[in-house]
Homo-oligomer: A and B are copies of this chain.
Amino acid sequence: MTTTDRKLRILCVEDDPQMRSFLLAQLRARGHQVQTVRDGAQAIDQAAIFEPELVLLDLALPTLDGLAFLRRLREWSRATVIVLSARDEESVKIRALDSGADDYLTKPFSLNELLARVRAAMRRADEAARLRSGGPGGDQSRAVYRCGGPDGLIVDFAHRHIRSGGKEVHLTPTEYELLSELTRNAGKVLTHRELLQRVWGPDYSGENTYLRTFIRHLRRKLEPDPTQPRFLLNELGVGYYVPLPDSETESQS
């Protein structure tokens, strides 16, 4: 089940006006955002401005040759490139593919095949993009709240796991929702009303006995010393909050 029918920014580099308007119409009809240019020089400019995820490239261009454009593009962009060319010689295909093209279609081609190849290429590109954004350098991407060192409080949102005092802790759904709401807004005091509405729904704005009960449950499960809370803190008359996570010393609001 490929559901990679995302809306794309597509740059169409094509000399022939007929083909250009055909592609423009077909791709726009499918909800994509399409820009077209006539030659390689324009293409470089547009690629820099428009930042397309996909480039459809005709090799036969008036000013700057298609292969030259491709190599220039590859110096700074990893956009998916599919070459559309009337030429069917092996040597041209190989040079295009080795210059950085992801695929090569010979005209005339079927629109549906083009679209299928776009989907296949974007499947790979999406995977890479996803990995890149969750990148290796700073791995703060993994949704985890940490406070008080390794034996402090750790909330792993992705797995729905909680650790405190070095041990795995079991939370009920409501307890988890409440803690989740607080840790996602760490450092910020959430009012009774905000918490009740977000955890219990919009019709519970007055029931702050609920809050007291569940804050208590959480403290019993998470605080080393429930008589002196370190994680679940009260702002008298306002609401509750948890401290900012470790290594986030600066306060913003």
Interface residues of A (CB under 8 A from B): 1-2, 78, 90, 93-94, 97-104, 110, 112-113, 116-117, 119-120, 123-125, 127-128, 131-132, 134-136, 138-139, 141-142, 144, 150, 154, 156, 158-161, 163, 172-173, 176, 187-189, 235-238, 250, 252-253
Please, which residues of chain B bring their CB within 8 A of the CB of A119?
97-98
Please, which residues of chain B bring their CB within 8 A of the CB of A102?
120, 124
The smallest beta-carbon distance between A20 and chain B, in angstroms, is 23
Q: A98-B116, A119-B97 are known contacts. Are A237 and B173 too (CB-CB below 8 A)?
A: yes
Please, which residues of chain B bring their CB within 8 A of the CB of A135?
131, 134-136, 139
Interchain CB contact under 8 A, B136 and A116: no
Which B residue sits closest to A236, measured CB to CB? B172
Please, which residues of chain B bring their CB within 8 A of the CB of A139?
135-136, 253
Please, which residues of chain B bring their CB within 8 A of the CB of A78?
127
Interchain CB contact under 8 A, B238 and A160: yes
